[in-house]
Amino acid sequence: MDQVDVTKPLLALSCGLDGAFSTPGAKQDQLAAALIVVARFLQAVISLEHAATFDELSSAIADLTTGAVHPWLMPARDAARRDPSQLWRGRASAVVALEALYAAGTSPLETAARKLIRNYPKIKLLGGGKLKKQADFSTLLQWRKEFSSGRVKDDDAKELFSAGRELIQKFSRDREKLRAIVADRARAAARAAGVFAPTSNTP
């Protein structure tokens, strides 16, 4: 492949993405616009074929607002329906925050769970998008049991939980560090809930 000066295309990519994600509107529309920017970059520096793929994906995402679902975005028919990975990663962050809060001296666990939900109310949305399926302190304790017993099937979430437990163990005697872990993981859980809080498939 011939060498290409990518300075100007990269600048255009950076500016285009900034523009796409700073434009007011739904995240779905922002993503569709961003993919067009990526397509233009690929066309300039790699190939029209790769660019066309991203252009098609942009159209597919944009069409979702009208209810049209492109085949690329259809879930696999033979796959069991599960909550999205991002939702489970948010739950993992919430559980790590709970365990760090408990390790820092807030006990029993039920008290720690109530305090965490009270201080970070967006965590309630990790239970699902409908009010009747919002999480409470007992849901948080149930997630802890699921992660601790290895019943969670999402690999990324399990890895996040395990890494969090290792970090808590490492700083088990340092309450300041533990409180920092609480704040960091609780904020991550709240972000996941705020950005993406779909209806839960969990019974």
The CA-atom distances, in angstroms, between 192 and each of 100, 124, 141, 150, 188 are 19, 11, 18, 22, 6
Percentage of the chain surpassing pLDDT 70?
86
22-36: buried (b, 16+ CB within 10 Å) or exposed (e) per residue?
A: eeeeeeebbbbbbbb
Fill in the amino acid letter for 42: L
Q: For 17-33, what is the mean pLDDT?
A: 87
Residue 201 has pLDDT above 50, yes or no: no
Say if residues 88 and 133 touch (Cβ distance below 8 Å). Answer: no
Residue 129 has pLDDT above 60, yes or no: no
pLDDT at 112: 96
Domain boundaries along the sequence of the chain:
7-73, 85-195
- For residue 29, give every residue at least 6 positions away whose Cβ sits within 8 Å of its Cβ, in sequence order, or none: 23, 62, 65
Residue 31 has pLDDT above 80, yes or no: yes
Q: For 145-160, what is the mean pLDDT?
A: 92
Summary mean pLDDT of the chain: 85
Query: Per-residue pLDDT tens for 77-123?
Result: 655 556 678 889 999 999 999 999 999 999 999 999 999 999 999 99
Residue 178 has pLDDT above 80, yes or no: yes
Residue 69 has pLDDT above 70, yes or no: yes
DSSP H helices, the chain, are: 7-22, 27-45, 48-63, 85-103, 109-119, 137-148, 155-170, 175-195
Residue whose pair of structure tokens reads 């290792």 in the numeric block:
166
Residue 150 has pLDDT above 60, yes or no: yes
Say if residues 9 and 45 touch (Cβ distance below 8 Å). Answer: yes
Q: For 130-141, what is the mean pLDDT?
A: 74
185-201: buried (b, 16+ CB within 10 Å) or exposed (e) per residue?
A: bbebbbebbeeebeebe
Q: For 188-194, what is the mean pLDDT?
A: 85
pLDDT at 203: 33
pTM: 0.64
In terms of phi and psi (left: phi > 0; alpha: psi -120 to 50; beta: otherwise), the region of 171 is alpha
Tokens of 50: 């790769």
Residue 2 has pLDDT above 90, yes or no: no
